[in-house]
Structure 1
């Protein structure tokens, strides 16, 4: 009688958090769908975790449908961390068993498996739990491009991170500090201690204190009223930089940008995390079935930092 183990039964279906129409958080369904197959240039990833980004709530609600229309039904999840289980034709850069992270521009990571283009992937950081690595791609890429490409932060500058309590803010504080800046950060009482631990030189309670002036750069990460957005302009010294990823700022010198995918930058960020030069701050870790609740809490202003969701 053979003692060889029986071959594993292929996984053919999986669970995925999908929306079939725009609406309130209750439109997020826990669906059973076929496991995708990697096409040319793609890999199949067994998802260890995805993470929640507040902009995904706007995507789900339909607030972004005119700029980012979705092919419905749509599987949520832009951030992914997981293990490659299969590669499609033409893939030579990654193979089965590799630990990877990626930002998926078309979503799909809020599931047990996802097929992704191999050229979007970066190695996951060494020494970091793979689930925690899901907090990196969207938030850290956004912070990197804000700090280094648009604000061009350099040693000795005074930099304000406005709205530092979210996932992008934690990375932006660290990257600006690593660039040699004196980092000032606005944060709520709920986020202040965490932002201070990440390296902010001064925490400003924006509900009770005026914002500082004579700044070399302001990086705005908060959704603001037009009046509040305009009030940031006088804080910048002549020649300073004003960068916003949320509300556009009505000033000739202000930059409003949308983060681009960049696997090379993501690999550099991953290496900094692996060498412990950059921290990943995880606020919560929850099962994927809790995603509707996370959307509800986010829209009520009751979340902070990065929230990990695991299948």
Structure 2
């Protein structure tokens, strides 16, 4: 089969599109014929060697934590899935991933793919949508009537976070550049702050109950925007709280959760959630996609198709 692999840590140039042995499912696993994968900064950080302690990999390594595809072969003991089932999943980051024609996945992390969008496009969901869901509801405790600031709403996670928060009945303030503003507004943002033109503190007139920070930079003062008893949840740099006012700081890593993913897929099929795919590329161009992703050239999610 064809796969993209790297044989050492490094920049995008270490990614090779090459022949690889087709994997076989073990007990509790399924073999998936990949319809699509997607670009995630997590894949790039692992490739660069920045996360060796958290996610050690064996070389050669195939990246790709998102998968959408059809079950080719269930492994021993798998009763939940049959050949031909359309599935999605957030794969273990330290195992060989979905940047290939076939991938092996634990059966219990998979959910049925939504049926109302192209199967390859469903690869834009797992990592980013789960991150948004867990940041808002598990770590942020978001409820109806609350005010939430989503910093970095123009990215893949941000787009889902805006939609989830709005659907939950929150007032949504989103930071985005001019190129993403129309999309973010269509996703449900009540107020958009162009982070390139002014100070965030000046734009947020009233305290918010929750900040979801999706931007990797040295921004300080986020806790000052939060009302007493609120939270700052960050997926990037360490969180900043204010214990004196009971403002929590949470630094989170997304985890695989099949039940949450099934609920997210249900919302896609019901029309409550839109999957925004900004670009589609053949898998052979993964190195180029990693290069462009590092340069910040993408809005939303990029899908790659074997």
Do the two structures share a fold, i.e. TM-score over 0.5?
yes
Residue of structure 1 in register with 2:152 after alignment: 163
- For 1:122 and 1:66, the matched residues in 2 are separated by 29
* Deviation of 1:107 (Å): 4.2
Moved more, 208-217 or 26-35: 208-217
Match of 1:219 among 209, 212, 226: 212
Instruction: Give the paired residue count.
Output: 295
Give the TM-score taking structure 2 as reference length: 0.94
Give yes or no for contact 2:144–2:169 (8 Å, CA) kept in 1. yes
- For 1:35 and 1:67, the matched residues in 2 are separated by 27
- For 2:267 and 2:108, the matched residues in 1 are separated by 20
Residue of structure 2 in register with 1:23 after alignment: 10
Tell me if 1:310 matches 2:305.
yes
Residue of structure 1 in register with 2:131 after alignment: 142
- For 2:19 and 2:40, the matched residues in 1 are separated by 23
Residue of structure 2 in register with 1:78 after alignment: 65
Give yes or no for contact 2:22–2:102 (8 Å, CA) kept in 1. yes
Moved more, 93-102 or 31-40: 31-40
Tell me if 1:110 matches 2:103.
no
- For 2:259 and 2:159, the matched residues in 1 are separated by 21
Match of 2:231 among 237, 241, 244: 241
* Deviation of 1:67 (Å): 2.5
Residue of structure 1 in register with 2:28 after alignment: 41
- For 1:73 and 1:175, the matched residues in 2 are separated by 37
Query: Aligned with 1:199: secondary structure?
Result: coil
Query: Aligned with 2:20: secondary structure?
Result: strand
Residue of structure 1 in register with 2:85 after alignment: 98
Query: Aligned with 1:74: secondary structure?
Result: coil
Moved more, 58-67 or 236-245: 58-67
Task: Trace 1:189-208 onto structure 2 (pairs within 5 A).
Answer: 189-208=178-197
Are residues 171 and 46 of structure 1, via their aligned partners in 2, closer, same or farther at CA, if it must alter by over 3 Å?
same
Give the TM-score taking structure 1 as reference length: 0.93
* Deviation of 1:303 (Å): 1.4
Per-residue displacement from partner, 1:165-192 (whole Å, max 9, x unpaired)?
A: 1110000000000110010100112221
Based on CA coordinates, which of the two structures has the bigger radius of gyration? 1
* Deviation of 1:233 (Å): 1.1
- Give structure 2 stretches of 5+ with no counterpart: none
Task: Trace 1:40-59 onto structure 2 (pairs within 5 A).
Answer: 40-59=27-46
Residue of structure 2 in register with 1:232 after alignment: 222
* Deviation of 1:33 (Å): 1.0
* Deviation of 1:241 (Å): 1.4
Residue of structure 1 in register with 2:278 after alignment: 283
Residue of structure 2 in register with 1:301 after alignment: 296
- Give structure 1 stretches of 5+ with no counterpart: 1-13
- For 1:287 and 1:157, the matched residues in 2 are separated by 42
Residue of structure 1 in register with 2:253 after alignment: 258
